[in-house]
């Protein structure tokens, strides 16, 4: 019989953490015949594969050459037997009762394509666990601009480790572009939100912060900061056409995706620099996210004043000027000369 569910653990050089991840999956309060555990190893050079093999045959190891998280998903997902897939990074771990909670939620709500939930944020140095969870259960979708805003605000509850999806939605987003060496769960999250996600208020996994995490940053390591910014920007660029291909209205894309994209791009352009074209595109996304029926005068203001300024000034100077503009609360001048309605 095919197992009802699969726990998919992706890992790369996690010898310090992988055993805890596997044990947390093994100790779930669900009959072992009802789920399989698969670990996809993305070409680790440490003892990670050796540790995983200790748990055979209960845990199945898929090994591949190093290529990044997207390539690991693309290689592993076709090999899975479950009709429901619960994702977990090899340096995180499930809370007790996680699998039973998400399976029960999917059974109760057959229209939900996926389940998300809260989590415990753990910093390796202190070992303190901070609860990050919604106040109540939410159902997320992208049918309207307002629901798209709410869905993207709740993206944090669809992290790896918090995301369980019905396998049937994955063909909509596969294969995942292999340029996503991390953040490769983003297309899967998009597919889930398009089809509808139930978010539970319980904290059901532990999200570990540590210095070797690919997504971690340090002021002392500008190369890593630049790499993370580049991958995150690439993620936004890939997600936009995916949303449109899956039938999400442009208004919902602008309302949901553009605000976090604009915030991320502005921060990068302000601190890391970039091209004038990048600054122009960022400000036009901000414009489209905020104003769907702007007046002609306001359009002219955005294109002839703001747009022109992005081309005249280097991005760092433009955003310093923009910060000065807002800090001195002189936005009323804009409203006086170019009403938004």
Write the pLDDT tens digit of every residue in 113-159.
Answer: 999 999 999 987 777 889 999 999 999 999 999 999 999 999 999 99
pLDDT at 211: 66
41: left (phi over 0), alpha (psi -120 to 50) or beta: beta
Give CA–CA dist 114/328, Å, rounded. 45
Tens digits of per-residue pLDDT, 282-298? 999 998 887 666 777 77
Please give the helix or strand (H or E) that residue 15 lies within, else none.
none
Banded model confidence at residue 98, pLDDT cuts 50, 70, 90: very high
Quick one: CATH architecture of 5-209?
Alpha-Beta Complex (3.90)
Q: Average pLDDT for residues 328-339, to the nearest whole number?
A: 58
What's CA 238's distance to the chain center, in Å?
12
187 pLDDT more than 80: yes
B/e letters for 22-46, b = 16+ CB within 10 Å, e = fewer, are bebbeebebeeeebbbbbbbbbbee
Q: Average pLDDT for residues 207-216, to the nearest whole number?
A: 70
338: left (phi over 0), alpha (psi -120 to 50) or beta: beta
Q: How far is CA 190 from CA 200, 229, 290, in A?
A: 18, 20, 22
Q: Write out the two tokens for 83.
A: 């009709």
Q: Is the CA virtual torsion 64, 66, 72, 78 positive or negative?
A: negative
pLDDT at 229: 86
Residue listed under structure tokens 């570990």 = 208
pLDDT at 37: 98
Domain ranges (residues) in the chain? 5-209, 222-337
Q: Write out the two tokens for 266.
A: 């502005």
Which of 56-70, 269-283, 284-298, 301-315 is the least confident region?
A: 284-298
Q: Average pLDDT for residues 37-55, to the nearest whole number?
A: 97
Tens digits of per-residue pLDDT, 213-266? 655 555 566 677 777 888 899 999 999 999 999 999 999 999 999 999 999 999
CB atoms closer than 10 angstroms to residue 126 = 9
- Output the furthest CA–CA distance in the chain (Å, rounded): 71
Give pTM, 2 decimals: 0.88
């Amino acid at each position: 019989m095919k197992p009802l569910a699969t726990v998919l653990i992706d890992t790369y050089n996690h010898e310090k953490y992988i055993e805890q991840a596997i044990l947390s999956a093994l100790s779930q309060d669900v009959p072992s015949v009802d789920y399989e555990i698969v670990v996809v190893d993305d070409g680790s050079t440490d003892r990670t594969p050796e540790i995983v093999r200790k748990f055979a045959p209960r845990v199945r190891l898929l090994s591949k050459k190093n290529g990044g998280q997207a390539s690991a998903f693309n290689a592993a997902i076709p090999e899975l037997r479950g009709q429901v897939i619960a994702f977990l990074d090899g340096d995180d771990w499930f809370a007790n009762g996680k699998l039973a909670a998400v399976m029960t939620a999917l059974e109760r709500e057959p229209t939900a394509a996926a389940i998300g939930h809260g989590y415990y944020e753990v910093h390796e140095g202190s070992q303190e666990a901070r609860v990050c969870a919604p106040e109540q259960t939410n159902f997320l979708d992208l049918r309207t601009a307002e629901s798209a805003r709410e869905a993207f605000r709740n993206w944090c509850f669809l992290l790896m480790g918090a995301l369980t999806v019905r396998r049937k939605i994955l063909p909509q987003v596969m294969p995942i572009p292999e340029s996503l060496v991390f953040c490769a769960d983003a297309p899967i999250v998009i597919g889930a939100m398009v089809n509808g996600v139930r978010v539970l208020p319980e904290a059901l996994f532990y999200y570990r912060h540590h210095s070797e995490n690919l997504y971690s940053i340090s002021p002392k390591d500008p190369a890593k900061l630049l790499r993370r910014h580049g991958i995150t920007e690439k993620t936004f660029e890939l997600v936009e056409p995916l949303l449109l291909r899956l039938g999400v209205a442009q208004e919902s894309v602008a309302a949901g995706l553009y605000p976090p994209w604009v915030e991320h791009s502005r921060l990068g352009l302000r601190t890391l620099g970039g091209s004038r074209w990048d600054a122009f595109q960022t400000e036009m996304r901000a414009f489209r996210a905020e104003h769907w029926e702007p007046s002609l005068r306001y359009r002219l203001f955005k294109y002839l004043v703001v747009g022109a300024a992005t081309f005249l000034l280097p991005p760092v100077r433009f955003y310093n000027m923009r910060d000065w503009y807002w800090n001195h609360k002189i936005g009323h001048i804009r409203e006086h000369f170019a009403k938004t309605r």
